[in-house]
Chain A
């Protein structure tokens, strides 16, 4: 049965086939609930599921539009009249669309995700550079004291401002590393390139500083802002 569909790639015959969301049937250009990996075809990654190019630098609106149009066509509520099997299939496909969307929302997420695609674990402990270490130790102390020592709070606020400035600088570096990775990927060279090593390093630093900022903010927040127990 043909589905009415408004994914940007769906009605464009000129669009490269790889840019069609994975669930589309290549021949008919329609949603195919039975879609399975063909022999020799790998499980689709988040990009393939959303029908987006495998790039770290992606337009946030493009991701939103791809998700919205796919979920409009694939949500299980749409398939109720076709019986439980169609609902189950739609459930499976739409969960992957939602998972892909959730996993690609931010630039940091996309950077981490492309690294996992080439078998790396971006969660691995990042060793901070020497110039950060002193500050980190100061911050740890201030975080511990901030609850009861006003002087520590003041110090923590200063450190926080500094971390935020550093984070802004890392953002620029990260964008450069992402662009380099995207170029390498487009050239078919992503898995072996130096771009990957560069991306890993910058992303590690970004996450490390994010973690510090998060902890500092939590320590500075008033006690009643702590999340309530469930």
Chain B
């Protein structure tokens, strides 16, 4: 169809369904989107694409900065700066205390809530609330870059995350004002991005060693279907642990020259920063030296050999190999049957890691992917699959951990085995053992061990049962693990066929009510957000009008304008560009109206031009023969759009 004079804003509906992909990492986070070219791109801010997952608070308890500035704040006021939040997501207080080790955060549990809170600058915040700040920063970056509001996202998590950790990640998204369309496993996302680009057929293994977590996944790619065969990992193992080991050794060295970092958060952070630099340098050099200023005015030189670093971290690297072997066994494969080895995560830059992985799988890893960006790119691809309805690609993932129920003798009976393709379900029937019993208690656990104490409690709930003689009532409970790896429970009375509602309280994490309350609390910021949102909407519209005007000016209609008309339009364009720089909606709208007025005749000429072309299109000629005279068609003044 030849008629296309679009002077209006972009298609609203299209923008509303738009979704970005987010890699919410332990140390760094990224946001990516799929552009009109069908390719995923990472969105860069002025300070690069990677946003350190660090949040700095001011003394009053307000968020001061997120990302790079917060990373710098870590050296100035570490007590008010939070990092490695991902390690605390969906965990119990005891686990966090264990996890934090030498991290300086205070952990609290509140009465009547299963969620753990971290104390910072006089406030007690849950890990999802903290993570939401990072997500909000990424959302904002994407909005500034794309010029329109972003409300939907696909967020990645380590494949080995359990139900509570996934749920916590989803909650964080909600708190940041994002509708999380899907939680995707990081190695799977990496494979998806790789698959889009390279269209591999066959079996690949993704070894993903990030800042705080380790994952391994074995996948089969076939005609656009990315199917996970097995996954494994360790959610307590990553580059952070290498840093910690290095800090321990270097701290002893500096103690020898009379500088103690013990119990001094600021010195410790400076030392940690220096050690990270050292670690990075050792990936390229056999010997590295960095300068550090632990005490103001006193520069010291820290030197380390790669061989010593490798000896230090070797046991941790070895620890990643057993999950790899297990994943191979679970997939029913031997290493020789793998076609590709993909390395993901910054820690795979370490030569020892690459070497050990190559030895295990007997194959050199692919060198043509960016281990830092590929996960975010894959998340963007998944967002695109879900919002554009493209049918050439599909992801079929598995649940990393078995799901079970507590039974007599503190034993767990498995109902869905690990590495089952998801969505997956299992239905169990329950009956009563005592007359007039009104409920059955169900305790759901996740993990692959035999005993209740060795698995992770997900939830406990009571199935309501009508009071009947023992054994007469029958209730079928369906456990469904959705495509996000999150559990849903429904119950049905077998005799009557009636659905029963079950309230499942998570053992750790936020209830729905708590999330709603937090969202209400966030209303303080709502006005600020709304103003900004309005600006973004106005800017989006202005951008498309500017673009359309530019195109029309360059086309045949443009050449038919009077010089004064052209001058008027150019003045209005300059005015609109200036208004956009104010970052306020009102000036943009006003300037946009002026441009609209100035382009009235240009629009008319363009329309006539388009119709003229159409008349010479034989397919359209007979339609137009019955249409009114093109010259009589008055374009609508404000929304000059004919579709």
**Which of B234, B391, B423, B448 sits near A76, CB closer than 8 Å?**
B423
Q: In the complex, how many angstroms separate the beta carbon of B643 from the nearest chain A beta carbon?
A: 20
B222 CB contacts on chain A under 8 angstroms: 68
Quote the shortest CB–CB distance from A20 to chain B (angstroms). Answer: 21
Asked if B511 lies at the interface with its beta carbon under 8 angstroms from chain A, I say no
In contact, A77 and B454 (Cβ under 8 angstroms)? no
| Cβ-defined contact, A230 with B449, below 8 A | yes
Once the chains bind, are B480 and A224 in contact (CB under 8 Å)? no
Distance of B364 from chain A, by nearest CB (Å): 26
Asked if A164 lies at the interface with its beta carbon under 8 angstroms from chain B, I say no
Q: Is B483 an interface residue (CB 8 A)?
A: yes
CA A227 to CA B421, docked complex, whole Å = 21
Identify the B interface with A (CB < 8 A): 17, 181-182, 222, 225, 234, 322-323, 325-326, 382, 385-387, 389, 391, 394-396, 401, 420-426, 447-449, 454-456, 480-483
Determine the distance from Cα of A224 to Cα of B319 in the docked complex, in whole angstroms: 11
Interface check A55, CB cutoff 8 A: no
Interface residues of A in 175-230 (CB under 8 A from B): 224-225, 227-230
Q: Could you give 22 example pairs across A and B, Cβ below 8 Å? A: A4-B391, A72-B394, A75-B396, A76-B423, A76-B482, A76-B483, A77-B182, A77-B395, A77-B483, A78-B389, A80-B181, A81-B389, A95-B425, A98-B422, A98-B423, A99-B424, A99-B426, A102-B420, A102-B421, A227-B326, A228-B322, A230-B454
Q: Are B322 and A224 in contact (CB under 8 A)?
A: yes
Whether B483 contacts A75 by the Cβ 8 Å rule is yes
Contact of B387 among A80, A95, A98, A230 (CB under 8 A): A80
Which single residue of chain B is at the shortest CB-CB distance from A67?
B421
Query: Contact check: which of A102, A225, A229 meets B325 at CB < 8 Å?
Result: A225
Structural contact, A77 and B394, CB atoms closer than 8 A: yes
Closest 8 CB pairs of A and B: A95-B423, A95-B425, A98-B421, A80-B386, A230-B447, A91-B423, A94-B423, A76-B483
The number of A-B residue pairs with CB atoms under 8 Å apart is: 76
- Expressed in whole angstroms, the Cα–Cα distance for A38 and B401 within the complex equals 36
Interface range on chain A (Cβ under 8 Å from partner): 20 to 34
Bound together, the chains give a CA A228 to CA B323 distance in angstroms of 8
Q: Which residues of A contact B (CB under 8 A)?
A: 4, 68, 71-72, 75-78, 80-81, 91-92, 94-96, 98-99, 101-102, 224-225, 227-230
For B481, the chain A residues whose CB sits under 8 A away are: 95
Min Cβ gap B512→A in Å is 15
Q: Which residue of A lies closest to B426 (CB)?
A: A99
A92 to chain B: which residues have CB within 8 Å? 423, 425, 480
Chain B residues near A230 (CB-CB < 8 A) = 401, 447-449, 454-456
Closest B residue, CB atoms, query A224: B322
Q: Which residues of A contact B448 (CB under 8 A)?
A: 227, 230
Q: How far is the CA of A227 from the CA of B325 in the complex (A)?
A: 10
A176→B482 CA distance, assembly (Å): 39
Chain A residue at smallest Cβ distance from B421:
A98
CA distance A227 to B181 in the complex (A): 34
A77 touches B325 (CB 8 A): no
CB contacts (< 8 Å) of A77 on chain B: these are: 182, 382, 385-386, 394-395, 483
